[in-house]
Amino acid sequence: RSASSSRSDPDMFGLSDTEVTDVPLAHLDVEDTTFQCRVTLKPELLVDSVKNHGIQVPLVVRKHPRKKDKFQIVCGFRRATAAQQIGYVRVPCVIRDLKDEEAHILSYAENECRKTLGDLDRANGIAKLRATKKTTAQVAGLYRLSERQVQRLEGLLEYPDELKRALDNAESGVTTTHALMLMQATKRPGARLDLKEWISKIRKERMTIDALRGAIREAFAQRRPSKRPWRWSGTKFTMSLRTAEKWSDAEREQAITEVKKLLAKLKG
């Protein structure tokens, strides 16, 4: 089978004005993910569409720099994988002579314009362009981001795996802001956050950012030790007996211990 393409549909990259060639899938190096932005392809999201309508937008490929008679995919990894799963023999492609930097930018821009990238995907694309020895300022300029945005996105790649998996899963309900709040909470003194538990909580309760902020605040408030009803200040010892009836057994024991220490000092 061959995947048909709507050759007359214009697009913002001018691909419709370029000759489209039906390239054998066997000639595409599907395993080469050099220019793949997405962390996870999820080709199953396209399978039904490709089955019913074919590939409407041709892939963009270039001659493989290291493998003879092979093409390197620049745009269209998910389309190629979906076609492969269906059993197509050929797919429509635009063959371009692109340098590495041009290929990275085109891959990122195409996905960004189609609004198919999540923040983790953006971070992955940035990391791949970084590998070509680009500075933060250069990456920001090429991807039309601020330097602060580049640094914030790059930080996502340092998150724990369970948090990255949640970010990559649209059904988890975990947004970049949710993830940032959880990471900030894990760095607070005395923090013992079980990320898996919190991720599950966000998913089950469909927690908003405000709800998560409140839940984290409440969790830390519960762990904060209550203020002691006595205080040592140099040689001065003070104790509030007005609230004695509200003391817990542990606080009573501690108060007795402190009073015994004071009596011992007076006797000594």
Q: Classify the C-alpha dihedral 246-249-250-253 as positive or negative.
A: positive
3-state per-residue secondary structure call for the chain:
CECCCCCCCCCCCCHHHCCCEEEEHHHECCCCCCCCCCCCCCCHHHHHHHHHHCCCCCEEEEECCCCCCCEEEEECHHHHHHHHHHCCCEEEEEECCCCHHHHHHHHHHHHHHCCCCCHHHHHHHHHHHHCCCCCHHHHHHHHCCCHHHHHHHHHHCCCCHHHHHHHCCHHHCCCHHHHHHHHHHHCCCCCCCCHHHHHHHHHHHCCCHHHHHHHHHHHHHHHCCCCCCEEEECCEEEECCCCHHHCCHHHHHHHHHHHHHHHHHHHC
| 135-184 residue pLDDT tens | 999 999 989 999 999 999 999 999 999 999 999 998 999 999 999 999 99
Contact (Cβ atoms closer than 8 angstroms) between residue 12 and residue 113: yes
Share of the chain above pLDDT 90, in %: 62
Taking only the tens place, the pLDDT of each residue in 194-208 is: 999 999 999 999 999
**Closest C-alpha among 103, 94, 124, 75 to residue 17:** 94
What Rg do the C-alpha atoms of the chain give, in angstroms? Answer: 29
Per-residue pLDDT band at 3 (split at 50, 70, 90)? low
pLDDT at 201: 94
Q: What pLDDT is attached to residue 8?
A: 34
Identify residue 47 by its one-letter amino acid code.
V
